Structure 1
Amino acid sequence: MIYSLYRPKAPLDTFVDSFWVTDSYVAQAPRERVLPSGTQDLIVHLGESPVRIYADEHSTEATDAPGVIVSGPRSSPLVIGTALGATVGVQFKPGGAYPFFGVPAHSLAEQTVALEALWGAPARALRERMMETSAPLERVQLLEEHLLRRLRRSSERGAALRVALDAFEEPDLTSVAEVNRRTGLSPKRLLALFREEVGLSPKTFWRVRRFRAALRDLEHGTLRGAALAAEHGYFDQAHFLREFRSLSGSNPSEFLAARVTGTDHVSVYG
């Protein structure tokens, strides 16, 4: 697999973390778990065969996804088939997808949705234009131009959401109540804001982002065991292991053995 990553330019860099492009994908296993990030992704699949999505890694039945899909914010792994062709994608920043899709983010949570259901015919036209070129950068530019046209001029993150999102990335944050205090929002208002623009509750979002931060340290080999748990605010190592299995479907050793390098995918064998 050739995997290319592109960083967005302003003003999209406020909302988009990265654009990525792959050629035909030759996987190590017939299925993979895509680990939750608390963010949304837009995926344009350019191959002839559909993307297969499974209810879980043991399911024998799959749903065939259309050529362009939105993967909503998740707190559990997404299990996909790996017989994929060329693919172009957008990884949004937390809450960054909200201005582009015209629906509350919570309506997409834990789901994969056809982009055509949100954008109509332009979603199909976008894929067709991408299929007319094989140049990765040109495909990214087409997607970037389309997002720019979709971006409403009034689309700016409110100060309270920015403060809250930054707070949830801090390893020493101790409670959601602390985020309420920093933003000046009541628990009810913070919950409503996160459901509308992020798609997960503040507590669930915090769980996922803490897991992702721990995952980075685990991958880099900088911390292990109790030290890793303590660094990221878990009560103890047992608490960390429970959360890790809940959010990834495996323990840390299994994850390291089956991870797909350069992605947030884990191979599923058997």
Structure 2
Amino acid sequence: MYDVSGLPGLETAAGLLPPDPDCFFLIRRPPQPAFCDAVLSFTGYAERTSGHFRQIQAAPLAVPLIISFSSFFTIALGRTPKQDERFACFTSGLYAGPAVIDSFGASACIQVDFTPIGARRFFGVPMHELAARMVPLDDILGPLAWHLRERLGAEPDWNRRLGIVESIVYRRLLEASAPDRKTAIALRRIATSHGSASMADIAAELDCSRKHLVEMFHRNVGIAPKTYARMVRFHRVRQLAMSSGRAMADIALECGFSDQAHMSRDFMEFSGETPSRWKRRVS
């Protein structure tokens, strides 16, 4: 639910957004260059017509901060949300599966998408405490969460709303401790290899044991390094499928899967649907 393209699970592929552009408002702003290692984007989102909208986010690699100043969302990880699973201002750590987000035509919010390292610094808690959970912002930020919601609701201009959130995010990041160097190196190695880097090789490069690498990821990322690498590889598969039009079997081999069946199992685990169904839905 925290793709770099927007709100929890807001993807730009056909079928995930309300079909008529007049149904919603979307504004996106990149972070200042000095904060690109911590923040991926700032996004404003609002619905302009009544209805029931469902968004599905597959194993996102970003950690979202959502500040809603209108209606709530109903959200669940790995399944359809129940009516009482309502969230307005919240975050959620990394989750190796699909998140399902329902809204009902009156939602308006600001979303900040953090890198895992940025989230660790901004929230100031071990990331395993946020992983695979929906966490109300009050539990982490205290009165600041309520203050933000009220201030954004009272401000009518979307650019000023984004500016309010930006200033608070940047101030907290500047006050936070520096990112863990070894975790940053490991994340970069996984990203540049599209998830194919060996955990043993990364541990050797960092001069640590694999056990220490796992503990480090648990604390600073929220999930195991191997799981994170598999998620990166899954997103690489989707990127190649969207941009190249190549056969899924060829993409599976390029991405390091033993065969297409192996890739399909990962695809189902992370997205909740088969590659063929996903391709039909987004084409």
Same fold (TM over 0.5): yes
Structure 1 position 30, deviation (Å): 4.3
Separation (CA, whole Å) in 2 of partners of 1:251 and 1:244: 6
Q: Give the counterpart of 2:186 among 164, 167, 175.
A: 164
- Aligned-pair identity in percent equals 28
Cα distance in 2 for partners of 1:135, 1:223 equals: 44
Q: Retained in 2: the 8 A contact 1:3–1:20?
A: yes
The DSSP-based 3-state class of the residue aligned with 1:2 is: strand
Tell me the CA shift for residue 156 of structure 1: 2.3
Superposition deviation, residue 139 in structure 1: 1.2
Aligned positions of 1:86-235 closer than 5 A: 86-153=108-175, 155-169=177-191, 170-171=193-194, 173-235=196-258
Structure 1 range deviating more: 77-86 or 228-237: 77-86
Contact 2:120 2:126 in 1 (8 A): yes
Greater length-normalized contact order (CA 8 Å, ≥ 6 residues apart) = 1
Aligned 1:34-45 pairs, distance under 5 A = 34-45=57-68
- Indicate the SS of the match to 1:151: helix
Q: CA deviation at 1:157?
A: 2.4
1: CA distance, partners of 2:219 / 2:195: 26
1:51, 1:64 within 8 Å by CA — same for their partners in 2?
yes
For the pair 1:74 / 2:87, whether they are aligned, the reply is no
Aligned residues: 258
CA-CA distance at 1:233 after TM superposition: 1.2
CA contact (8 A) 1:180 1:187 kept: yes
The 3 A distance-change label for structure 1 pair 119 and 174 is closer
- SS of the counterpart of 1:41? strand
Q: 1:153 to 1:33 in 2, by over 3 A?
A: same
CA distance, structure 2, for counterparts of residue 167 and residue 133 of structure 1? 42
| Structure 1 letter corresponding to 2:96 | S
Alignment partners' CA distance in 2, 1:56 and 1:9: 34
Amino acid corresponding to residue 37 of structure 1 in structure 2: P
Following superposition, which runs of at least 4 residues in structure 1 exceed 6 angstroms of deviation?
none
Whole-angstrom CA distance in 1 between matches of 2:73 and 2:52: 15
When normalised by structure 2's length, the TM-score is 0.83
Q: Check whether the contact 2:28–2:42 (CA below 8 A) recurs between aligned residues.
A: yes
In structure 2, list runs of 5 or more residues that go unmatched: 1-23
Cα-to-partner distance string for 1:224-250 (whole Å, 9 max, x where unaligned): 311111121111111001100110000
- Say if 2:81 and 2:100, in contact at 8 Å, map to a contact too: no
- Cα deviation digits, residues 14-35 of structure 1 (max 9, x gap): 2001111112166996433221
TM-score (norm 1): 0.87
Change (3 A) 1:58 1:130: closer
Amino acid at match of 1:98: R
- Give, in whole Å, the separation in 2 of the partners of 1:69 and 1:130: 15
Please tell me the root mean square deviation across aligned C-alpha atoms, in Å.
2.3
Q: Distance in 2 between matches of 1:209 and 1:62?
A: 32
Shift in alpha-carbon separation, 1:220–1:148, aligned structure 2, 3 A: same
- Deviation, 1:60, is 4.8
CA contact (8 A) 1:54 1:61 kept: no
Letter matched to residue 155 of structure 1: S
